[in-house]
């Protein structure tokens, strides 16, 4: 993990110097987590695609301003992703939570297994929709992007302690939602 961070930051410095291949490596390293972040935050496959692209466009435009002393590249990218998400939600006026049709692609699984996975994903999206935006953000970052409290705190501009408290409240609230829906 440590190596990856160092690698990413070195890549960022090269990208800032105009190295296109370095930025390609950054893109390939962070594409999956950024897409997952938007997907679980919005529940929309198409919007997640659009916003992922927009995030990397903004990253490229601002890569010269990246300062490794302030944050890791991954954190810096997620701060940008978070801003893109906020802009999107503001423009829409609300969270877009359209149902997805065959959003998941699990080519190795059989039909039945794939159906079960899609059904699970649908339930998770539906349960996350019931949560306030701040709760959803913390859970997405912690459980789908595997960020620790410190990293989430830097992205959201809070303290690690506040993030931990928020995460616990979010989990309890999610538990209530699951009980209410009979999914526990």
Partner 1 sequence: MALRLHGTGKAKRREAAAEEFLASASGPATPERLRLCGFQRVMARAKEPEAFRGRDAWRLSTPSLYRPLYRSAAVILLVVTLLFGSTAALYAASSGSLPDSWLYGLKRAFERARVAVAFSPSSRLDLEVRYGQRRLEEIREMARSGRVRGGERWLAEYERFLASAEGRLDALQEEERDAWRSRLALLLQEHEVTLREVMGYAPAGLVPLVERARGRCAESCARMRGGPGESPDRGGGPPGDRGPGGEGDHGPGGEGEGPVQQGWDDGSCPSLGSGGAAGEEETGGQSREGGEGLGEPQGPGGGGEAGPCGPGGWQEMTGKR
In the complex, the residues that contact partner 1 under the rule CB under 8 A are 20, 23-24, 27-28, 31-32, 35-36, 39-40, 45-46, 49-54, 56-57, 60-61, 84, 87, 91, 100, 103-106, 117, 120-121, 123-124, 127, 139, 143-144, 168, 171-172, 174-176, 178-179, 183-184
**C-alpha to C-alpha distance for 16 and 67, rounded to whole angstroms:** 11
Nearer to partner 1, 2 or 87 (CB): 87
CB of 81 to partner 1, least distance (A): 13
CB of 91 to partner 1, least distance (A): 7
User: Which residue, among 132, 135, 119, 12, has the nearest Cα to 66 in the 3D structure?
Assistant: 12
Contact 40, 122 (CB under 8 A): no
CB of 73 to partner 1, least distance (A): 16
Nearer to partner 1, 2 or 65 (CB): 65
Nearer to partner 1, 69 or 84 (CB): 84
CB of 121 to partner 1, least distance (A): 5
């Amino acid at each position: 993990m440590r190596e990856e961070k160092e690698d990413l930051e070195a890549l960022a410095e090269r990208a800032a110097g105009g190295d296109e291949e370095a930025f390609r490596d950054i893109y390939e390293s962070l594409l999956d987590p950024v897409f997952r972040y938007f997907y679980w935050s919005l529940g929309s496959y198409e919007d997640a695609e659009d916003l992922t692209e927009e995030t990397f466009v903004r990253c490229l435009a601002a890569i010269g301003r990246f300062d490794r002393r302030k944050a890791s590249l991954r954190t810096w990218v997620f701060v940008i992703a978070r801003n893109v998400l906020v802009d999107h939600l503001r423009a829409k006026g609300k969270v877009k939570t359209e149902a997805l049709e065959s959003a998941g692609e699990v080519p190795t699984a059989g039909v039945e297994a794939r159906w079960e996975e899609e059904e699970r994903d649908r339930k998770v999206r539906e349960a996350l929709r019931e949560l306030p935006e701040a709760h959803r953000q913390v859970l997405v970052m912690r459980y789908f992007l595997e960020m620790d409290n410190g990293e989430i705190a830097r992205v959201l501009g809070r303290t690690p302690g506040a993030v931990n408290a928020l995460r616990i409240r979010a989990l309890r609230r999610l538990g209530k939602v699951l009980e209410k829906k009979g999914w526990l």
